[in-house]
Amino acid sequence: MGTDLAVKRLVKFDGDGSLRAYCDLAIGDGFLVKGLRVVEGKRGLFVSMPRQQGKDHKWYDSVEALTTEAKAAVDRVVLDAYQQELSASRAPG
């Protein structure tokens, strides 16, 4: 994916639920996608796109990656930022 991706804000959660963090992701200098989530699933961590609840009470993604490569790039950038945040919070000092 040729566009620069950068996590602009990441809020980490400690607790019993599956939500580990949420973040905002900048796409180049032109877009900010708010509300991506880092979730602990049965197979490990994954990135969940922002979503909203429809009138039928089901949840629908409001942002979608159009290619597998784009989704992989988003996952890599967000999970790397999450791991860095974990390392920083565990560091002494």
Grade residue 2 by pLDDT with cuts at 50, 70 and 90: low
Closest-CA residue to 27 (of 49, 47, 48, 7): 7
CA distance 23 to 35: 6
Place of tokens 């990656």: 65
75 pLDDT more than 80? yes
Give the mean model confidence (pLDDT) for residues 18-32. Answer: 95
Q: Is pLDDT above 70 for 13?
A: yes
Average pLDDT, integer, range 77-87: 94
Q: Assess whether pLDDT exceeds 60 at residue 1.
A: no
- Determine the average pLDDT of the residues in 13-18: 88
pLDDT value at 52 more than 70: yes
CB 12 within 8 A of CB 89: yes
